Structure 1
């Protein structure tokens, strides 16, 4: 696994950025860069299980399953991946699911002089690095635009 890092500074208070990033409706907006129908099921509470979903190429539901390892409001969200969703079914036992089990994704938030920096760090298989290097900066730019248009 490779450790990937992305960052954006948003001209808004941390509470606005945090809420916009994690609220269901606005989450769907900024993550549409990854999949036009991105969504999640569950919640961001520490210890909760959360599913990140979208349609697969054949129209079935696909995605990832994670546990919220840490949630410090307006500071940090840390996720650990525990499986995948294939054809709408949870998969935690296949070789494909086991290949990324234990991978982490973290969102750190820090505010200075009214601007908030969001630092994203995630583990990725080499085959997805180019896709994430293209998509994450666009997603964070979209998050920034959404927050700043509302502030």
Structure 2
């Protein structure tokens, strides 16, 4: 398992950044960095299963392990989805967390990823782009 950490400083409140991360319209915008047309199905309550999908119904499914609005959310990735069919994977502690820390300049957004080695390059390429879009939306959206 590889641990990756990505951080970006955003000149906006944690509440604004949280809204950009998880409101449907802005979520679809910033996740284009991973796959055009990305969206999620489900609700973000702790214990719920969420499906992260592309327009072809491919993606992954995960359990919400922790949700403290405007502060932290953590997902445990359980498996992949191919054409809408769930395929459980034995990834162990494959997690993805978003941590928002308020500071004098606004919010530091930190993403901590525990990933199998085969996905490391993908995340290293895509995550900085995704966080840049979150920053842009958070600082420039009304």
Which TM bucket (shorter chain)?
over 0.9
TM-score when normalising by structure 2: 0.94
Could you list the per-position Cα deviations for residues 73-126 of structure 1 after superposition, in whole angstroms to 9, with x for gaps in the alignment?
A: 11110111112211211122xxxx22x253111110011125101110011122
SS in 2 for 1:129: helix
Alignment partner, residue 24 of structure 1: 24
Structure 2 CA distance for aligned equivalents of residues 73 and 91 of structure 1? 30
* 1:112 maps to 2:99: no
Matching of residues 35-114 of structure 1 within 5 Å: 35-55=35-55, 60-92=56-88, 97-98=89-90, 100-114=91-105
Task: Describe the shift of the 1:109–1:117 C-alpha distance in structure 2 as closer, same or farther (beyond 3 A).
Answer: same
Structure 1 spans left out of the alignment, 5+ residues: none
SS in 2 for 1:61: coil
* Matched length: 142
**Shift in Å, 1:148:** 0.6
Contact kept, 8 Å, 1:39 with 1:54, in 2: the verdict is yes
Q: Which of 127, 138, 142 is the matching residue for 2:129?
A: 138
SS in 2 for 1:138: helix
Contact kept, 8 Å, 1:13 with 1:114, in 2: the verdict is no
Contact kept, 8 Å, 1:106 with 1:121, in 2: the verdict is yes
RMSD: 1.3
Structure 2 CA distance for aligned equivalents of residues 131 and 81 of structure 1? 16
Structure 2 spans left out of the alignment, 5+ residues: none
